[in-house]
Amino acid sequence: MFRFESTLVWGVCAVLATTAGAQGSLSLVSGDNQTATRVGTNSQGGEALYAPLSVLVTDAAGKPLAGVPVVFSQGVKPAAMACQFDPSGDASSTAISDATGLATLRKMSNAAGAYSARIYYADGQCQILATLGTSTVTFHLNATTK
């Protein structure tokens, strides 16, 4: 939500654009508690791929908010595990909520299609955090050996 104000003083027009302080809150929609087996030879011990992770962005009245950036970042994981969810290898990835308020992490892809994350090198659980301001949702992705 944007608010615009303009003031005309001595022939100078000043325009002030501000956004609402609280951008909304998050609720988990899909993708939590996935388990995948590490397979293939791309990484030592294989890699596990996961379906997209989705959260719903809503305002204080519970209405969906479009165009809101949600930051996905890595949470707790075993030290030997690698958990990648952005093709660049960045430690965080941003998804923008669509017209229905859904923000979905699915930037990784292969011949089979888009996916949210790739886990390799070790088994265990990797947490992915979706954050908007002070609102955080935690996804749990589990990797097992072939």
Structural domains in the chain, CATH included, are: 22-144 (2.60.40.10)
Q: Which tokens go with 8?
A: 């005309």
pTM: 0.81
pLDDT for residue 22:
52
What average pLDDT does range 76-90 have in this prediction? Answer: 92
At CA 37, angle to CA 32 and CA 38, rounded to 5?
115
Q: Which tokens go with 13?
A: 């027009």
- Indicate the pairing of strand 135-144 with strand 69-74: unpaired
**pLDDT tens by residue, 13-58:** 444 433 444 579 999 999 999 999 999 888 888 999 999 999 999 9
